[in-house]
Amino acid sequence: MKSKRLVAIVIVAALSIPFLGASNFIGKSTNVKADSNVSQTSNITRLGGADRYETSVEISKYGWDKAGTVVIASAESNMDFADAIAGTPLAHSMDAPILLTKHNELPDIVDKEITRLSPKNVIILGGTGVVSTSIEDKLKSKGYSVSRVAGKDRYETSIQIAKQLWTKYPSTSQQVGSDHAVILTTGKQFQYAMSVASTAGNSAILFSDGNTLNQSVSNLLSQDKNLQSINVLGSNKVLGVDGSLYKGNSSLFDIKEYNNVSELEKGEGFLESYNGTAVASDKIFPDSLSGSALAAKLGYKLVLSDGSSFPYTVESYANKLSGGLIFGGTGVVSEGMTDKISAILNKNIPANPNGLKDTDLIPFTDENFKKDVQKALGKTDITLKDAKDTLKLSLNESMNIQDLKYFPNLMSLTIDNIILDDKNIEDLSGFANLEYLTLNDCTFNQTLLKQILKNTTIISDGNIVYRAN
């Protein structure tokens, strides 16, 4: 399986300007809400409720005064996420909130929220096994026009959602339609699809699992003559794409080789060019599920966190962030998250999650590392801004490389006389701009280093051991 950066996500945004342009994002007032479930500090708002259903209502109240269409999805089971995530682009195309329900009972608070929104249409995502006919009948009895988008399983449901998007935004000789590019990822771990749900625009999110591409998905894509890109989120440890479509059209597949959720979050945590950021837990799906529609509406990037850390950065020149949302209570996303988001919104962007500002002096842990940096930069006091501006660095006397975390923009790095353990090597994965790594008299796991630094040319004792494409 080849390894490519998923540039098509950016391409999708560019091609979908008529539908998802910045001018179409609806801003949100930052007035403090009176509701006790909504708290706000400056321009950062936390939306949470007593449970997942109430949280979805608070998210809906924040983003919509009225809605012509409301989308309903199940969130009772931990595996109910797929239908709703695949439905995020559809909900966004209709400017519709996503409200959550139990399998056989529509919670009263959700029922009241639908009444408040006064929609004409209600769309149910998934079959009767996840949202019962009794709920459908109850909604119909209240005068709503109710439709259901469903297949026999999550894979088939995602296909039906894709077909609706393609019908709504067809490709013509005058415009690029939503079938120009699709996102393909696992239907078994919510984090993968969720990481791109709010930024997918009108591109369909399809699911596949196992060693080969899901046959129904393959059949759908094989018939699409307008398809230019299949953006795969996850390595072959997560999902396989082998099959007739891949063998005959491998150039269509742009694959991000994420092996696990940690790699996924690092790779998808870029915040450049978005209006704001929305944070949700990476342990449970419901809060981010309903939050994805609001994030898409506002032009916010939805990012996942373990609840306490915020390991995301944005370059100063590309920082358009003006607001932040936190989905869920402090039990899932800590109170301290507000300060970490605030640091980015205030343009004091940390190069690591410890909250340092650009003007702060770096608290080096290795005195020899500090001496190497002082020599390289020709100054004694090294601020975080100095480190972020550094593109080339040589470490000749350092005992460890822990302090490299303060130098995120390095393009060339030379290290002498050190043992690089697996933890050190994994720490190097955050250097997206690193073009050359030169190692002299160093001991390291060559296989792991090649896996981590796929876009970096590695030179060891004068020999090129890996050449980046």
Q: pLDDT at position 97, please?
A: 97
Element (H, E) at 266: helix 261-267
Here the tokens at position 291 are: 């939050």
Taking the C-alpha atoms of residue 32 and residue 35, their distance in angstroms, rounded to an integer, is 9
pLDDT at 109 over 90: yes
Q: pLDDT at position 318, please?
A: 72
Here the tokens at position 70 are: 């409301």
Stretch among 15-19, 161-165, 344-348, 396-400 having the lowest mean pLDDT: 15-19
Q: pLDDT at position 38, please?
A: 65
Which 3 state secondary structure label does DSSP give 303?
strand
pLDDT at 348 over 80: no
* CATH, range 367-466: 3.80.10.10
Q: pLDDT at position 37, please?
A: 62
Concatenating the DSSP letter of every residue in 112-152 gives: HHHHHH--SEEEEES-TTTS-HHHHHHHHHTT-EEEEE--S
* Helices 190-197 and 286-298, packing angle to 10 deg: 20
Confidence category of residue 215, pLDDT binned at 50, 70, 90: very high
Confidence category of residue 17, pLDDT binned at 50, 70, 90: very low
Can you give the residue ranges of every domain in the chain?
Answer: 8-26+50-273, 367-466
Length of the chain: 469
For the entire predicted model, the pTM comes to 0.68
Q: pLDDT at position 469, please?
A: 66
pLDDT at 13 over 60: no
pLDDT in tens, 35-75: 346 665 568 999 999 999 999 999 999 999 999 999 999 99
Average pLDDT of span 146-155: 94
- Is residue 385 within 8 A of residue 357, CB to CB? The reply is no
- Is residue 185 within 8 A of residue 174, CB to CB? The reply is no
Q: pLDDT at position 355, please?
A: 57
For residue 292, give the nearest of 468, 109, 73, 7 by alpha carbon. 73
Query: Which of 170 and 78 is assigned the larger pLDDT?
Result: 170
Stretch among 235-249, 257-271, 378-392 having the lowest mean pLDDT: 257-271
Confidence category of residue 453, pLDDT binned at 50, 70, 90: confident
Stretch among 173-187, 314-328, 359-373 having the lowest mean pLDDT: 314-328
- Is residue 339 within 8 A of residue 46, CB to CB? The reply is no
pLDDT in tens, 399-429: 778 888 888 888 999 999 988 888 888 778 7
Here the tokens at position 144 are: 């709503």
Here the tokens at position 301 are: 């990037």
In DSSP terms, which residues pair with 383 in a beta bridge? 361
Average pLDDT for the chain: 85
Average pLDDT of span 384-413: 87
For residue 199, give the nearest of 235, 159, 172, 233 by alpha carbon. 233
